[in-house]
Structure 1
Amino acid sequence: MVSPMSTILVTGGAGFIGSHTVVQLLKQGFRVSIVDNLDNSLIEAVHRVRRLVGPTLSKNLFFHQADLRNKQDLEKIFSKTKFDAVIHFAGLKAVGESVEQPRRYYENNVTGTINLFQVMAKFNCKKIVISSSATVYGQTDKVPCVEDLELQAMSPYGRTKMFVEEIARDVQRAEAEWRIILLRYFNPVGAHESGQIGEDPRGIPNNLMPYIQQVAVGRLPQLNVYGDDYPTKDGTPIRDYIHVMDLADGHIAALRKIFATDNIGCTAYNLGTGHGTSVFEMVAAFEKASGKKISIKICPRRPGDATASYASTEKAEKELGWKAKYGFTSRPFLSHWVVREIVAVCGLSIILTDSLQALPTFCKRRYQDMVIPDHEFVHVDDDDNEDDVEQVPLDVVTVE
């Protein structure tokens, strides 16, 4: 059974889903050590997590800047702390980029995971929740996707996730004491209700919602829609868009399952809403909630993109006791979501100045209602960042 102060290692914990899961772990009473190389995430996310949970809970949060490809650094971390379990988010995640840079994806996602398994085994930590992806299903005529479908990933990214799943199954078959849960989640969106953490991609986003948000506030001129000739009702791909806080809660449910069940083996679960939404429908929902028109450019299809993918959630509901709570159909939720998403993606200091004026009155009112007192704002500036944010406890491994 899980103890009141179990210690969890979270790889990729400074990233989008990882940071939201760390918040929930701390609130549930876990001690958390984050390992992240900060290649596609920001240390600012860790500082904001600490602010969100407060000074008492943040004492249970530690950060190590390290890369899973460097096994020696991992061993240093494991030698200092006895971990009860691992939640493994770390990896690269862009389908299109993976087609252009397959070797980089295999090295990061597969080699890094193999190193993690080896170090965990060396230090007798054999409980792990692994971030997988709905991309392992590939192009399938069977929707919703159920967990026992044949895996036929279409992109190098999807194949890295598929191979990691196979590695996990082989490890558990060889050593029965391993307890492994694979979480195949669909398309994450949303942000923490405070607006202080969310998806903050560098450059042009790979995911739909931060892309829309950056167009809405003028960072990007238009939304590129990759294909409007799919065999769907409006010609755009259909996806299962799930709120990041639902995903965070799903990881907590999986972790508790691992602690409570001796013979779990290696088991996969879908995390999704069970409903498919097209790209154009998501754009329309954003426009309705924000009052802003999103400029669209139709582009050729991207290699590796499936026509439709949404989850069957029955297994997760039955065995994990988990079900998505958030949806994108209610106006009150959408209006809060729009403002918080823009705050999370574009930064509080931006919203407080130029971009706030670009929001419609309805959204400005929603922004004013957000529970972020003025003295809690975190303004990020390269010149004085050290003065503006609290530092993480100094249990840090830095990779030169």
Structure 2
Amino acid sequence: MSQTILVTGGAGFIGTHTCIKLVESGFAVLVLDNFSNSSPESLKRAEYITGKSIPFIEGDINDARLLDEIFAQHSIDVVIHFAGLKAVGESVQQPLRYYQNNVSGTLVLCDAMQRVGVKNLVFSSSATVYGDPASLPVRESSPTSATNPYGRSKLMIEELLADLHRADPEWNIALLRYFNPVGAHPSGRIGEDPGGIPNNLMPFIAQVAVGRREHLTVFGGDYPTPDGTGVRDYIHVMDLAAGHVQALRWLEHRRGIKAFNLGTGRGYSVLDMLKAFERACGKSLPYQLAERRPGDVASCYADPQLAADELNWKAELGIQAMCEDAWRWQSENPNGY
């Protein structure tokens, strides 16, 4: 019998792509999303791609009564917890909002899970928990420390989940530390659709390519990197989605709490990504250098070996596929959903 997975934030960029992989892998999916940074249209398109219905409930993880209703009405086996605010710059300006939504929301969710004895959780963490890495590539054993409230909220959640497991070893938790998710579903029907000015590089470049923005703003050209721009480990969202399926399989036969890096192990600079995107869309794209952003680090990329060894997972798609798929999505959906 297939397991039922509650996916919080399942209408978001990573959430929708993961829902597709889950359905294709035979899991039953129930989505909870408040659509604060996503659209019900993304789930409709996920249904079109999979040919299966993806039931969803509109609501908030901070709503304890709603969570109790969901767990009472549905037989949930595992929760994949994506729901959270995720813009580094915004978190610096609105720390209370980030702690309220991300940390407090996770507490409310875990409390509801505990009440019904659902103790399997895959948590959407982030490479920002490594702060400004002392050495590269970063391993799961590298020191953690965040440079902004967004990263600190992820780190606090990891720590509260570790405490939860120490208090009750029946909790079974995979902490997935994502590096920089980009790309889109190869169908071009779903992709990243940020509200307002994009905080992440790839949708910003894509919006320049499609004519929605005049030029790319590159934050910081004086980092100690090969070309002066920030270096990140970009990972295709479909590879990332596959990592969640592998994490569920790991939870089926393991007990405990463990962190895994989901990255490619390669760092690319902002200008590397810009050039790759220019190849994908067939035109040159203007950019301007600006001051560094507070909370950004010079360079960060993963050692993904642990995920290969324990989850039997590794990233398959390279920088060109990331850019081509992102461009297909953006060019076919110039204004998003």
TM-score bin (small chain): over 0.9
Q: Distance in 2 between matches of 1:344 and 1:244?
A: 18
Question: For 1:131, which of 96, 116, 124 is the aligned residue?
Answer: 124
Question: For 2:259, which of 239, 251, 268 is the aligned residue?
Answer: 268
CA displacement 1:69-119 (0-9 Å, x = unmatched): 111111111110110000000000000000000000000000000001000
Structure 2 matches for 1:1-400, cutoff 5 A? Answer: 4-54=1-51, 57-58=52-53, 61-261=54-254, 263=255, 265-329=256-320, 333=321, 336-337=324-325, 339-343=327-331, 346=334
Segments of structure 2 that go 5 or more residues without pairing to the other structure are: none
Cα distance, 1:162–1:235 mapped onto 2, change above 3 Å: same
Q: Distance in 2 between matches of 1:63 and 1:344?
A: 26
Check the 8 A contact 2:210/2:331 in 1, yes or no: no
Runs of 4+ displaced beyond 6 Å: none
Give the partner amino acid of 2:86: K
> Counterpart of 2:121 in 1: which secondary structure?
strand
Q: Distance in 1 between matches of 2:122 and 2:331?
A: 30
Structure of larger gyration radius: 1
> Counterpart of 2:55 in 1: which secondary structure?
strand
Deviation at 1:188? 0.4
Q: Distance in 2 between matches of 1:340 and 1:195?
A: 5
> Counterpart of 1:78 in 2: which secondary structure?
helix
RMSD: 1.3
CA displacement 1:129-184 (0-9 Å, x = unmatched): 00000000011131100001110110000000000000000000000100000000
Deviation at 1:337? 2.5
Deviation at 1:288? 2.2
Q: Distance in 2 between matches of 1:114 and 1:225?
A: 36
Deviation at 1:345? 5.3
> Counterpart of 2:136 in 1: which secondary structure?
coil
Check the 8 A contact 1:71/1:116 in 2, yes or no: yes
Q: Which moved more, 1:155-164 or 1:291-300?
A: 291-300
Q: Distance in 1 between matches of 2:122 and 2:257?
A: 10
Q: Distance in 2 between matches of 1:315 and 1:34?
A: 29
Cα distance, 1:339–1:225 mapped onto 2, change above 3 Å: closer
Give the partner amino acid of 2:127: A
> Counterpart of 1:143 in 2: which secondary structure?
coil
Check the 8 A contact 2:182/2:326 in 1, yes or no: no
Check the 8 A contact 1:239/1:276 in 2, yes or no: yes
Q: Distance in 1 between matches of 2:307 and 2:141?
A: 13
CA displacement 1:350-385 (0-9 Å, x = unmatched): xxxxxxxxxxxxxxxxxxxxxxxxxxxxxx6xxxxx
TM superposition score normalised by structure 2: 0.97
CA displacement 1:39-87 (0-9 Å, x = unmatched): 0111111111111111xx32xx210101011111111111101100000
Segments of structure 1 that go 5 or more residues without pairing to the other structure are: 349-379, 381-400
CA displacement 1:319-355 (0-9 Å, x = unmatched): 00000000015xxx4674253232465258xxxxxxx
